[in-house]
Chains A and B, each alone.
Chain A
Amino acid sequence: MIELLKLMRNKRMFMLMIGFILFIAVIGYSLSDRKELSWPEKFLKDSTAYVQQWFYKPAGYIAGFFEDIRNMKTIYEENEQLRITAAAYSRDKIKYNFIEKENERYKEELRFTKQQEEMFNYKYLIAQVIAVSNDANNRTLSINLGSKNGIKPNMAVTTVKGLIGIVRSVTPFTASVTPITELNETSQSFNPVAVTILGRVDESFGILSNYNKETSRLVMTKIAEDDKMEFQDTVITSGLGGVYPRGLVVGTVENKQLGDFGLTYTATVKLAASFDHLTEVFVVSVPELEEAEQ
């Protein structure tokens, strides 16, 4: 004790201790289960984002110009492929319209409630990325839509290629997106994602519980033994967990093996979306269910 008091006499040591206690206190505060950010945080984030948005997009245009020149060669092949896809799309579109009409008629005949009808009527809000974090373990993206635009925490965020993450926190004019690469069983900030396979929605089931940074693959667990999941199958969200909307592409199955306890299978999933050079993302807004219940 006396030793400690002697140490405390040293001013520098004392200040260090105070600083350390403050540091622990701030970490504790940020770990606590808060619903909203405090106002100084909101103010700082919004004002920084205001400046950041002048830089990110122009930089993207300039970088995109050079990338376009580099891609010139592959553009012919790409065009060929797109034409084939477009032809397939127009065929499917006719089929889809027909089925949609039929589906609507069935819903009417079965007397679906308003809530049931609106349940899967998702709104896709387009947002611009304004900054990317430079911390390797915390790759938060900032986007330029906030609570004023109806963004709420836990909304799913996708690109045209696939799911990239969820909204972690919102300020009036910006939102922070936690990428799906931070998915971790032990961390509290990310909920596991219930997924299924495109084309076999009611037969397959799995839960994305982890992202393995060393192999850059998602780990999908709790797959039933008789599941006919195969290599290169497209993984989509199933909407069963309640947090994520259904039908968002996540990635493709790479392999399937017996899980830790031998009762279920695990699979590794390659992400469809890439996190480099992001410009536009879509925030998926699920229609309010609570209001309908009241």
Chain B
Amino acid sequence: MSMNRIVLLMFLVFILEGTVMPWIIPAGFGHRIMPHFVFVIVIFSGLYSRRHLALLLGVSFGMLQDIVYFGHLLGINAFFMGLMGYFTGVLFERRRSTIMMAISVVGFACILYDSVIYFIYSVFRITSESYAWALIDHILPSLFLQLAFALACYVPVRKLFEGQSKATAENDEE
């Protein structure tokens, strides 16, 4: 039940990211501020749930994004979303992270994720801009949006994932 709800909510967030967010972002900043809300939720699932759930959610929603917005390459989002969700889980799943901890983890993860994607695209010669420019142009501006989203959804998402992992733990004991 809870798992279904998580997937449904994440799908809704994925839809909103591509349809409602372009309207909320002011005109002229459309190519500079990119919402990566699904990624933020994947990182949260690594922090407050099990690492395997983060891996699963990351790979499946990353793949969904890759396929729906297929332009040049397939599988980048799937691989790195899954990988980064998993490693957040490996590093932080046993601790009870505080809000500051969680927000800073999300921030670093977002910078890393955007940078890795930039480097993959530049390896395949799809972009030819310098990294410093990409950092100023879209990686840092979008970081603020991601942090704001992380702050806004911190309480409900944490409840959702902690409830989920508690439920599975009880099931395991039975």
Q: Give chain A's interface residues, CB within 8 Å of chain B.
A: 16, 19-20, 22-23, 26-27, 29-31, 37, 40-41, 44-45, 48-49, 51-52, 55-56, 59-60, 62-63, 130-140, 142, 168-169, 176, 178, 181-182, 184, 186-187, 189, 213-214, 274-277
Whether A27 touches B121, Cβ cut-off 8 Å, given contacts A44-B68, A140-B69, A275-B30, is no
Let me know if B67 and A41 touch, CB within 8 A: yes
B93 in contact (CB, < 8 A): no
Contacts of B102 in A (CB 8 A): none
Q: How far apart are the CA atoms of A60 and B27 in the complex, in Å?
A: 12
Q: A142: which B residues are within 8 A, CB to CB?
A: 18, 68-69
CB<8 Å pairs between A and B, sample of 14: A23-B76, A48-B68, A52-B18, A52-B19, A56-B18, A133-B18, A134-B21, A135-B117, A136-B34, A137-B117, A142-B68, A169-B70, A214-B137, A276-B27
What's the minimum C-beta distance from A190 to chain B, rounded to whole angstroms?
A: 10
Q: Which of A26, A45, A214, A276 contacts B75 (CB 8 A)?
A: A26
Within 8 A of A (CB), among B44-88: 64-65, 67-79, 82-83
CB-contact partner of A135 in B22, B24, B34, under 8 A: B34
Q: A26 near B74 (CB under 8 angstroms)? A: yes
Count: A-B pairs, CB below 8 Å: 155
Centre residue among A20, A133, A139, A182 by max chain B CB count within 10 A: A133
Question: With contacts A134-B21, A135-B34 known, is A41 near B128, CB below 8 A?
Answer: no
Cα–Cα, bound, A56→B19 (Å): 5
A137 in contact with B126 (CB, 8 Å): yes
Closest to B16 in A: A55
Supposing A181-B31, A277-B30 touch, asked if A136 and B138 sit within 8 A by C-beta, the answer is: yes
Determine whether the beta carbon of B27 is less than 8 Å from that of A274.
Answer: yes
| CB pair A27 B75 closer than 8 Å | yes
Q: Are B23 and A277 in contact (CB under 8 A)?
A: yes
- What A residues does B78 contact at CB under 8 A? 23, 26
Chain B residues packing against A (C-beta within 8 Å): 15-25, 27-31, 34-36, 64-65, 67-79, 82-83, 114, 117-118, 121, 124-129, 133-134, 137-139, 142
A14 → B minimal CB distance (Å): 14
Q: Is the CB of A184 within 8 A of B126?
A: yes
Q: Which residues of A contact B125 (CB under 8 A)?
A: 184, 186-187
- Tell me which of B19, B24, B72, B134 contacts A138 (CB under 8 A): B72
**Chain A residues positioned under 8 Å from B29 (CB to CB):** 276
